[in-house]
Structure 1
Amino acid sequence: MKKNRGQSGIICLLLLLCGTVQARDQYELNTGWQCANIAAVKDKGETISNPAHTLTGWQPATVPGTVLTTLLNNKQVPDPFYGMNNEKIPDIYHTGNDHYTYWFVKDFTEQRPQNGRQVWLHFRGVNYGCDIYLNGQRVNKATHYGMFLRQTYNISNLLAKDGRNRLAVIIYPAATPGNPNGGQGGDGTIAKSVAHQYTAGWDWIQPIRDRNTGIWDKVTIERTGAVNLKNPHIITRVPGVRLPEGPQAPATVQVSAELENASGKSITGTLKYLLDGHTVSKKVTLPPHAVTEVQLPDYRLQQPRLWWPAGYGPQNLYPLQLQFTDAANALSDQETVQVGVREVQTPWNEFTRSRQVLVNGQKIFIKGGNWIISDAMLRFSKERYDAEVRFHRDMNLNLIRIWGGALTERPEFYEACDKYGLLVFQDFWFSGDCNGRWVDPMKKEDQWTRRQYPDDHGLVLRSIRDQVKMIRNYPSLAFWCGGNEITPPEDIIIPIKDSILPALDGTRYFFDYSNSDSMSYNFLGGNGDGPYGIQDLETFWAHRTFPFNSEIGSVGVGDYASLERFIPKENRIAPQYPGEVDSVWKYHKYIGYDGHIAPYGKAKDAKDFANKAQLVNYDQYRGLMEGFSAHMWEWYTGVIIWKTQNPWTAMRGQMYDYYLDPNACLYGLHNGSEPLHIMYNPVDGMVMAVNNTFTARRSMMMEVGLYDMEGRYKQLTQVFADIGPTTAKKYLSVKKAVDEARKEQGVFLRLRLLNTDKQVITENFYWLPDASGNYSGLQQMAPAKVQATAKRITKDSITVTLRNPANGPVAFFNRVAVVDAQTKQRVLPAFYSDNYISVMPGEERTVTVSYTPAGNNSTAIELYGWNVKEEYITVQ
């Protein structure tokens, strides 16, 4: 949990951030660090940490950060995310660990506390080992090990009397960084440590050369009284079946916390919290030099404002202020937690033979995305987390799975998930690839040996206890999982299931591993994942896969603006099928679009290829989610896409690139995943609707019509339609009429649902190939003469309106982007209400763009489409 500085309880309440915990007095040590390689430092930690000692030849360091981040920021290595630059950086496996073993030093001002007050030093993440010194004295008695284990030290008596302090930390890489031999996790030995595995390389990333050695997460100083309040635990019980609106039955709030008495005498005081204007308290006596867990009385919250997943209701959050005061009513410490009142249940669906998710008693069809990590070099920020999770909300997803080869995400990630309504499925740090599920000739050791990774099982269990405490209060956190495609070793998984989670967090379901039978019964054979790569769209509709699929995915090349950011000009060469792929594309893990570009016409160059790839991207992800939604509760209770983002400049499985620029995958999902959605089954021509809300929709008008390549419209049918809550419904087949219309040149199919005021509720637009499977009509379309305007609504939002005159063709597949008016470079991140849109003749479409302005730079709108010329539009 995170604590931030505040001046009083009132100010703490005003400064609340979703999902965070705050204390009265805390600050981060995030600037002014210096570092030096161990080879250049002859002195010991006691000497280095003496404030009077002169540091000669040291350089600025990035903290939080890694050694490689510091070297990059000091221009000592090239950007490993660009081109083949990563090959120019020495790998730790070949250099030896000393090459990336560094001292980090920070001078700071903090007075030695008086009158029994305490000062604490917190490290939220170090990779992999460290020794810590302060003002000439060692802080940790034994070397710390483990990437996923927070550290806290009472430094009250180590602070300098004059308030001038020096902190010195030596960071050791993991003992076995692994051979980056091209295997998943290299030779697998990276998994001998309790750390993330992807840094030795995977099929979506090249190796991170220092394996992310460093002080990779926040370092903070906290001031408290004699009693430090820590690791609060909030549980909410929401019985019955609820709705987002209307009167609510009470919910129960259960609160506990750990109280550490740092003094040499017993202390009597009161632990209390304030929630929704009500106070709950308990008087306690704390023994000296001990940590006591205190359970407060249950509180019955009247008319609770509930927290819901995205698309189902609001994400209400309550500030809960927790305090400890002594017998004289003096405040010793306080923290504030943002509480989401919700309850998640996971019954077994006997019909689908898979786990089903209920939130507040209501069944939720899971539309999820697999998440690797925000940045492969651990350059995390609250702003980047917020943007990435917002993209997932904008895709109309409701769950993110944290893949086990990475890490327990940072608290700021869960804050964003709380804010945007994304449930979280959290793996622990194991993978079938490194931990021995399969025979693998790329691995150094056999399966029996790898099955027992990591080497220190006690460290794993300590780390799990700590990380559970760190993130258990977030309402978005819904599930724990033992690992990716494999369970942890038996002496780890049994304590997790039988003691750790029941004691520390007994409210969340634990999956043994990500594709276990307890999640989704595998009656089809295979390993339970996939398929991966481009599929014929009919596959998603007609071929049944696993009833709660944890990984199924496709491609994700960005548009040309994305490729320009990391592929040198000379390497921007369109892939040919069949044929060779450029070496830089290969290095960045390109997977082929194979023959799926050819139906649109052979790519003339890389830009043409990237533009045509967006048509495939959109169709693939819209079709994926439509096919699964069409069979919800019949075949499926959920699906999780592999994967939705990349923490590196990879060219696969991403809805937006590393630089946070979305591609058409995002908007295909945005369309196919919308809560109320009308859709077309390409197998039998059935028009269907899916309603992923709790409200029945009645007396809607369903319109089905065709546009030819000249823009002429033909209505196929117009009928009234209704649909119940959380269900999919078939209406009628238009296959015969559609097949007849498309056989020569292909055709556009438009589906709409209108309300009783004749307003469009939802719309879907398909481009269908000719009888041979080619888009011959698209290749011959006449230009559309779109009239585009852009109007500023607020300082950070713009509306873009596209008008397509009557008596012309459809203005097909238009990309809108906000750019710097002078440089024409895209402003990133930016969020679009929709994109890659088509405008019918005689109609208009409006897109809302929101973004964070950069200084006084003026902006313009970039527009281009399939048959719409590229232009830049002045914002009015």
Structure 2
Amino acid sequence: MLQVEDLGGAWELRADPEGAGATPPEQSRALAGTTVPASVPGCVHVDLLNDGRLVDPFRDDNELAVAWVGRTDWRYDRDVAWTGPPHERVDLVFEGLDTVAAIELGGAALGSTRNMHRGYRYDVSALLDGTARPLTVRFTSAYTEAERVRDLLGPRPNAYPEPFNFIRKMACAFGWDWGPTLVTAGIWRPVRLEGWSTARLATVRPLATYDGTGTLDITVGVERTRECDLRARVLLDGRRIAVLDLPGGVTAAHAEVAVGDVTPWHPRGYGEPARYELTVELLDGDRVLDRWQRHTGFRTVTIDRSADAVGHRFVVHVNGEPVLVKGVNWIPDDVFPSRMTRERYERRLREAAGAGVNLVRVWGGGIYEDRAFYEVCDELGLMVWQDFPFACACYPEEEPLFSEVVAEARENVLRLAAHPSLITWCGNNENLWLRDPCGWPEQPGGQSSWGETYYLRTLPDIVAELDPSRPYQAGSPWSGSWDHAPNDPDHQTFHSWDVWNRRDYTHYRDSAPRFVAEFGWQAPPAWTTLRDAVSDEPLLPDSPGVLHHQKAEDGNGKLARGLAPHFGAPASTEAWHYLTQLNQVRAVRTGVEHWRAHWPHTGGTILWQLNDLWPVTSWAAIDGAGRYKPLYFALRDLYAPRALTVQPRDGGPVVAVLNDHRDPWTGTLVIERRGTGGALLAAAAEPVRVAPRSVAVLPVPAAVARFGDPAAELLVVRLDDARALWFAVEDLDFTYDDPGLTVDVDAVAGGLDVRVHAVALARDVLLQPDRIHPRAVVDRGFVTLLPGESVVFHVRAPLDLAPGLVKAPWVLTDLSSVRRG
């Protein structure tokens, strides 16, 4: 039986004076001869931080002070020995090396690497005899390698002034419009010794599909030390469903197995995400040589990209049923991804599920995530859209990059095949789109190879060969062919960034794209997250530390211009923080409700973005410290199975009844026009029946929609427990009287219950729990109360909280108070 010895844990780290890089920075020369304790899996920055040799790169502008780390060559050392029983073969296995490495064992060179996105295996049988041998991994600066390849192949344009497109490394390590430039190195995934004899399982590719019954298309690849007859036994939940013969010398076997009656895997909101334990055992006679085990699920995925009268659809179908996509874009949850744990993946993904999300797009400037990420998505019923790691750049198609792209793609397509949550492969992020609008063909290197071959030939061929069970997309956005502009809203996928960059968010309503794969609006992180990261005194929206944690081009200018037509200029930094958070919610709500009202013409939305990887002003719903912005709570409403929205149309406002539920929605729709003090001015009621998974649009009766004083009236729409509000004028023109809020606080086990009651209209009441205690959380974001209504904010913390803390400035506020100064 194959045996494993884990080589994780304690290693030694040194700056490498013999590295291949240029003259090392002064800071790394000062480390000459110094040994730093290292932990594997890990990375250089984290090891230096843990040893007290780096300032916190997330604080103020310390990112700049630690830039030397990325320009330095490093080495990791430890002694290794095979202490298990004798085997015909012992392999040294690295699941991930970041990125440019040379490996030596006992002074013998084993090989070199230049790709973070793949694993490496070396036969070390002749080098390990029970005696400890020194193992050294030397890392050349990623800058050195990227600049070498750039000099070799010539320049290629990209969206950022860093050479990330010349090396197969996580692109956003070089900085992004929401991330710092922290170019690290290290043994970032597990490393081990594997001892085996006769044969081992080299690959297992299970493609589990469902068409009324389950089918398992399985391919098993083996590596041998000898020619003999072998078998691969396949078990599903412990039941043998197939035996694959591997006669002497044969290294692969394939079977298509009719599994019969199985419960299919469904995405969230469409059924249970049923999973089965799949086991493959490699047998020599009755002796088990190796065992592979995963959970998988049976489902069939297609994407309807057919033509219609408008253009080309983009509707995801799972098990034959169209699915309204309620998605979020996922970036690496840590700029140092070696710090990610299963627990952290599970926490963040459960948060996504808790917000009503049913799809997570793994964005192309990051990584192929850890197995734990996909296993949690399998369990939760979260669909995964997986980009190949290409983003916002022209990528050379020549060597030494081409073969690396092929190797990483083949490895990861096979590695992730068992996961039912993975529903589509996507060739890149924005590369097909940005080439012409950014003028890349006219820039130096712009006429050279730029990646089109990867996206339109190489990657689809690999997916067609290794994973025909999942649809492939050439890019996001992509209209389907060069017959239409890549970001044409009428054809397949669309990225909506013109609004954030140039226009007010009300312009989201100007079109109904077929599928919105990216859109978003910025806001700063939670107050405590911002204060922990920025030491500016006074703290101002444009103080140096705040601006350093704003990476978007003219980001704060766009925030200010976004506020102006709705709220005017904030009176203080605290007001700016509150209003920009509110404007983020208003903007995203405007887009999602408008597009969702056009289902199935618009097949879904994928918010940019769920998460952050450091404390920053960004489009995220969960900030870099893991704190919820109000947007997180708004998603629960926007992505709820049943919801109401009032939409402006040429003939007057309409009510869209959104029913993403397997059952019809029946009841009486009540539409009222009320004054801010609660007076009922007009009303209408209508019985409705909205079919499952559909939208009904009903006009607001003219008598109700005819506002007498738009500055002091609003529409209130109700159906069962769902409610929508509509204001005919902007906040600048609306009359905000004192809502007469009263607040009662009860100390309860685990925190505080804060009951807020309104005498008059109280719009956008917000409780910010981190202003009570850094570890406090709350269960809701902005809440609007009609006259006479109450709400309870449940504040929880890992320690006792004094009720009086709720009265501290800006803990509890509302829009009227902020507007009135």
* TM-score normalised over the length of structure 1: 0.79
Report the 3-state secondary structure (helix = DSSP H, G, I; strand = E; otherwise coil) of the residue aligned with 2:290. strand
Counterpart for residue 703 of structure 1: 670
SS where residue 711 of structure 2 aligns? coil
- Listed one character per residue, the Cα deviations across residues 6-65 of structure 1 (whole Å, up to 9, x for unaligned) are xxxxxxxxxxxxxxxxx98546433211111112899xxxxxxxxxxxx97411123222
Q: Cα offset for 1:154?
A: 3.8
Taking structure 1 as reference, are residues 618 and 741 closer, same or farther at Cα in structure 2, changes over 3 Å only? farther
Is residue 386 of structure 2 the alignment partner of residue 386 of structure 1? no
How far apart, in 2, do the equivalents of 1:718 and 1:24 lie?
A: 70
- Tell whether 2:106 aligns with 1:147: no
Distance 1:91 1:600, change over 3 A: same
Q: Quick one: structure 1 residues 678 and 498, their matched pair in 2 at CA, closer, same or farther if it must change by over 3 Å?
A: closer
1:60 alignment partner, one of 16, 29, 37: 37
- Cα contact 1:801–1:844 (8 A) shared by 2: no
- Identify unmatched segments of 5+ residues in structure 1: 1-22, 43-54, 240-248, 436-449, 755-759, 793-797, 871-876
State the shift of 1:633 in Å.
Answer: 2.2
* Distance in structure 2 (CA, Å) of the matches to 1:655 and 1:194: 29
Shift of 1:128: 1.8
Q: Which secondary structure state, in structure 2, belongs to the residue aligned with residue 267 of structure 1? A: coil
CA change 1:332–1:206 in 2 (3 A) is: same
CA distance in 1, matches of 2:304, 2:551: 44
8 A contact 1:600–1:776 mirrored in 2: no
Q: CA, structure 1 residues 584+297, in 2 after alignment: closer, same or farther (shift >3 Å)?
A: closer
Match of 2:314 among 341, 352, 355: 355
Secondary structure of the 2:593 match is helix
Q: CA deviation at 1:501?
A: 1.7
Match of 1:408 among 368, 371, 384: 368
C-alpha change, 1:869 and 1:556, in structure 2 (3 Å) is closer
CA contact (8 A) 2:646 2:653 kept: yes
Residue correspondence of structure 1 range 836-847 to structure 2 within 5 A? 836-845=782-791
Alignment partner for residue 310 of structure 1, among 264, 268, 272? 268
How has the CA–CA distance of structure 1 residues 562 and 836 changed in structure 2, closer, same or farther, with 3 Å as cutoff? farther
Contact kept, 8 Å, 1:255 with 1:296, in 2: the verdict is yes
Cα shift at 1:494: 5.8
User: How many Å apart are 1:150 and its aligned residue?
Assistant: 0.7
Hey, what's the Cα distance between the residues in 1 that align with 2:122 and 2:533? Answer: 42
Aligned to 1:105: 77
Alignment-derived partner of residue 344 in structure 1? 301
Q: Which amino acid aligns with 1:554?
A: W
Q: 1:753-832 alignment to 2 at 5 Å? A: 753-754=719-720, 760=721, 762-765=722-725, 768=727, 771=729, 773-774=731-732, 776-778=734-736, 780-789=737-746, 791-792=748-749, 803-805=755-757, 808-810=759-761, 812-815=763-766, 824-827=773-776
> Corresponding residue for 2:462?
500
CA, structure 1 residues 790+107, in 2 after alignment: closer, same or farther (shift >3 Å)? farther
Distance 1:714 1:337 in 2: 61
Q: 2:813 aligns with which of 866, 873, 876?
A: 866
Q: CA deviation at 1:575?
A: 5.2
Tell me the amino acid that sits aligned with residue 621 of structure 2. M
- In structure 2, relative to structure 1, the CA distance for the partners of 1:486 and 1:574 (3 Å cut) is closer
CA contact (8 A) 2:59 2:533 kept: yes
* CA offset digits 1:65-123 (Å, max 9, x no partner): 2222222222222222221111222347xxxx7x5211112345641432x46544321
Look up the equivalent residue of 1:668 and give its one-letter code.
Answer: A
2:175 pairs with 1:201: yes
- The offset of 1:582, in angstroms, is 5.8
Q: Which residue of 2 aligns with 1:441?
A: none
**What are the residue-to-residue correspondences of 1:330-729 with 2, within 5 Å?**
330-351=287-308, 352-378=311-337, 379-431=339-391, 433-435=392-394, 452=397, 455-486=400-431, 489=451, 491-493=453-455, 496-497=458-459, 499-518=461-480, 522=485, 523=488, 529-530=495-496, 531-533=498-500, 536=504, 538-541=506-509, 543-570=510-537, 572-574=539-541, 583-584=547-548, 586=550, 590-591=555-556, 592-597=558-563, 599-600=566-567, 602-634=569-601, 636-683=602-649, 684-698=652-666, 700-705=667-672, 708-711=675-678, 716-729=683-696
Aligned counterpart, 1:31: 9
- Aligned pairs for 1:850-861 within 5 A: 857-858=799-800
More helix by share: 2
Secondary structure of the residue that 2:479 maps to in structure 1? coil
Q: Tell me, yes or no, if the aligned pair for 1:238 and 1:341 is still in contact at 8 Å.
A: yes
Q: 1:716 to 1:153 in 2, by over 3 A?
A: farther
Instruction: State the distance in 2 between where 1:867 and 1:486 align.
Output: 43
Equivalent residue number for residue 260 of structure 1: 223
Q: Output one character per residue of 1:410-467: Cα deviation in whole Å (capped at 9) or x when no partner.
A: 2222222223322222222323x420xxxxxxxxxxxxxx654774211211121112
Paired AA for residue 13 in structure 2: C
Aligned to 2:278: 320
Q: Where do 5+ consecutive residues of structure 2 fail to align? A: 21-31, 433-449
Distance 2:769 2:348 in 1: 18
For residue 655 of structure 1, report the CA deviation from its aligned partner.
0.8
2:154 aligned with 1:190: no
SS of 1:619's equivalent? helix
Number of the residue aligned with 2:445: none
Partner residue, 2:253: 294
Structure-2 change in CA distance of 1:597 and 1:537 (3 Å): closer
Contact 1:705 1:713 in 2 (8 A): yes
Q: Specify the code of the residue in structure 2 equivalent to 1:826.
A: R
Percentage of matched positions with identical amino acids: 20
Alpha-carbon offset, residue 845 of structure 1: 4.2
The one-letter code of the counterpart of 1:334 is: R
Give yes or no for contact 1:372–1:647 (8 Å, CA) kept in 2.
yes
Q: Write the distance in 1 (CA, Å) between the matches of 2:621 and 2:383.
A: 18
* Partner Cα separation in structure 2 for residue 364 and residue 528 of structure 1: 18
Give the secondary-structure state (helix, strand or coil) at the position aligned to 1:32.
strand
Aligned mate of 2:781, from 831, 835, 855: 835
Task: Give the conservation status (yes or no) of the 8 Å contact 2:525–2:616.
Answer: no
| Secondary structure, aligned partner of 2:759 | coil
**How far did residue 610 of structure 1 move?**
0.9
| 1:727 CA displacement | 1.4
Distance across 2 between alignment mates of 1:519 and 1:664? 39
TM-aligned CA deviation for residue 337 of structure 1 = 0.9
1:303-352: CA deviation from partner (whole Å, max 9, x where unpaired): x222222222222221112212221x122211211112111011224235
Q: What is the TM-score when the length of structure 2 is the normalising length?
A: 0.84
User: Structure 1 residue 844: deviation in Å?
Assistant: 4.7
Asked if the contact 2:359/2:382 (under 8 Å) is kept, the reply is: yes
Q: Could you list the per-position Cα deviations for residues 739-763 of structure 1 after superposition, in whole angstroms to 9, with x for gaps in the alignment?
A: 626623464x443321xxxxx2x33
Match of 2:245? 284
Of 177, 191, 201, 1:229 maps to 201
- 2:474 aligned partner, one-letter code: D
> Structure 2 CA distance, aligned partners of 1:362 and 1:70?
49
Secondary structure, in 3 states, of the residue corresponding to 2:136? strand
Contact (CA 8 Å) 1:33, 1:63: kept in 2 or not?
Answer: yes
Take 1:679 and 1:800, find their aligned partners in 2: how far apart are those partners? 32
2:65 maps to which residue? Answer: 88
CA-to-partner distance for each residue in 1:126-160, whole Å, 9 max, x for gaps? 122222233x15362x3222122211234444334
Classify the secondary structure of the residue corresponding to 2:229.
Answer: strand
Q: Does 1:138 align with 2:99?
A: no
CA contact (8 A) 2:363 2:429 kept: yes
State the secondary structure of the residue aligned to 1:307.
coil
Instruction: Give the conservation status (yes or no) of the 8 Å contact 1:751–1:764.
Output: yes
